[in-house]
Amino acid sequence: METLNKAHDLSEPLTAPVRLDLSITEQCNTCCPYCWQLEHTKVGNLTFEVLAPAIKDLCSWRPLYSINITGGEPTIWKGFEEFIFLCKNEGVKNIWINTNAIRLANMSFLKKILKAGVTAIGVSIDTLNPEKHLELRRFPFSKMQKALDNLYEIQNTEGFNFYISLNPVLNKLVTPEEVAELKDYANSREWGFFCQAVFKGPALDKYGITKEERDARDKAIFAKDDCPDPSQGLLEVVQNTDKFSRDTHPLQKPGARCLKGQTTLKITSNGSVRFCWNGPNHIGNILNTPILEIWKGAEAKKAREYIREKECRCLFDCDIYESLGLEWVYLNG
Ligand SMILES: C[S@@+](CC[C@H](N)C(=O)[O-])C[C@H]1O[C@@H](n2cnc3c(N)ncnc32)[C@H](O)[C@@H]1O
Ligand code: SF4
Ligand code: SF4
């Protein structure tokens, strides 16, 4: 922790990052109407040949504690299984993927990616209602059901050990009771549950919810959970734009320190690298510069100073745990 604080004060990279968020492609095999990723047919710039040296370089300094692979739909990216295997071989401890689950309906694909090294799967599912699912996710619920059944089966098979979370996007079409039902379903299988509201994207008007509607969904989840104090617990994990704003975010308060410039990296499908989705601008591009040169470079230093001087303004989706809660990784990892 001392090293991290020193690195923060000096705006220097005294250690390697511990977390990498990778938006590996914008391509997708479906077209959810509210999705903020609009280029579902565009082939991005990231290839296995571009990413492999970046992962090797980062891990040669210190193996990443976690990599979170999202998109677009990561499971359709060419070289996906090989890439997971490479991350595992380089010593990445946690390999998390976010997926629409279409490819998980194929048991042999699911087994392959788990054997390759995936340790956690976040499944995007908004409702158990087949008609609403079809409207929101644009593929038949029978396929989603098959994927969920495969996950359940394989999780109960010897030799497979991984974490599953169901991750709905709260929206106008799905009632509070249906969100609570989904949470119950996750509980019944001992899976995690994480939700946020639709907050940007092309169909915000049609599917976005008001604060009152969001609160109704929070309440329904609590009622099912029998939570004694509805101001505690799950309420904190239902993300929405009004939970944290530019003015109320904990990292913007006097004395708070954001350690993203010392702990995390984000890479998007065009190769651009930054510390935070909402913080300073990009600090380089892995298509033309090795990742550790970017991490140690002049643009990165400027961005760290920008963060240290609190010139950026956090939004609600600046995951504060990325910035504040990683010290135990340094202490124990
Ligand atoms: C962009 S997707 C990429 C990964 C994968 N294709 C999936 O759907 O899980 C990442 C997450 O963002 C959510 N998402 C997409 N558009 C959104 C929006 N406008 N507001 C809030 N969340 C959104 C998706 O439901 C998904 O859980
Ligand atoms: S599956 Fe994911 S990336 Fe694809 S359209 Fe839906 S939210 Fe967007
Ligand atoms: S926007 Fe907030 S979370 Fe992101 S880098 Fe800046 S201070 Fe950190």
Q: What pLDDT, on the 0 to 100 scale, is given for residue 4?
A: 76
Ligand found nearest the CA of 41:
2
Residue of 260, 277, 313 best suited for mutating to test ligand 3, as the one with most atoms within 8 Å of CB: 260
* Pocket, ligand 2, Cβ cutoff 6 A: 28, 30-32, 35, 37, 71-73, 100, 124
Ligand found nearest the CA of 121:
1
Q: How many CB atoms lie under 10 A from the CB of residue 188?
A: 9
Ligand found nearest the CA of 277:
3
Per-residue pLDDT of the chain (333 residues; tens, 9 = 90+): 677 778 788 888 878 899 999 999 999 999 999 998 877 777 778 999 999 999 999 999 999 999 999 999 999 999 999 999 999 999 999 999 999 999 999 999 999 999 999 999 999 999 999 999 999 999 999 999 999 999 999 999 989 999 999 999 989 999 999 999 999 999 999 998 888 888 778 888 899 888 788 888 877 876 655 554 444 443 344 445 455 566 667 777 777 788 889 889 999 999 999 999 888 899 999 999 999 999 999 999 999 999 988 888 777 666 655 555 444 444 444
Q: What pLDDT, on the 0 to 100 scale, is given for residue 238?
A: 47
Name the residue among 123, 183, 179, 188 with its Cα closest to residue 151: 123
Nearest CA to ligand 2 atom 3: 72
Secondary structure, 3-state, 238-287 = CECCCCCCCCCCHHHCCCCCCCHHHHEEEECCCCEEECCCCCCCCCEECC
Q: Kindly state the DSSP code that residue 168 receives in the 8-state scheme.
A: P
* Pocket, ligand 3, Cβ cutoff 6 A: 251, 258, 260, 275-276, 278-279, 307, 312, 314, 318, 323
Residue with tokens 């092309």: 202
Q: How far does the centroid of ligand 3 lie from the alpha carbon of residue 261, in Å?
A: 9
Does the Cβ of 99 fall within 6 Å of ligand 1? yes
Residue 213 phi, psi dihedral angles, 5° rounding: -65, -40
Q: How far does the centroid of ligand 3 lie from the alpha carbon of residue 173, in Å?
A: 32
Calculate the alpha carbon distances from 37 to 40, 183, 236 in Å: 7, 26, 26
Q: What pLDDT, on the 0 to 100 scale, is given for residue 244?
A: 59
pTM (two decimals): 0.91
Secondary structure, 3-state, the chain = CHHHHHHHHHCCCCCCCCEEEEECCCCCCCCCCCCCCCCCCCCCCCCHHHHHHHHHHHHHHCCCCEEEEECCCHHHCCCHHHHHHHHHHCCCCEEEEEECCHHHHCHHHHHHHHHHCCCEEEECCCCCCHHHHHHHHCCCHHHHHHHHHHHHHHHCCCCCCCEEEECCEECCCCCHHHHHHHHHHHHHCCCEECCEECCCCCCHHHHCCCHHHHHHHHHHHHHHHCCCCCCCHHHHCCECCCCCCCCCCHHHCCCCCCCHHHHEEEECCCCEEECCCCCCCCCEECCCCCHHHHHHCHHHHHHHHHHHCCCCCCCCCCCHHHHHCCHHHHHHC
Amino acid identity, position 85: F
User: Which of helix, strand or coil describes residue 166?
Assistant: strand
Q: What pLDDT, on the 0 to 100 scale, is given for residue 319?
A: 64
Tokens of 74: 């990561």
Q: Are 25 and 73 in contact (CB under 8 A)?
A: yes
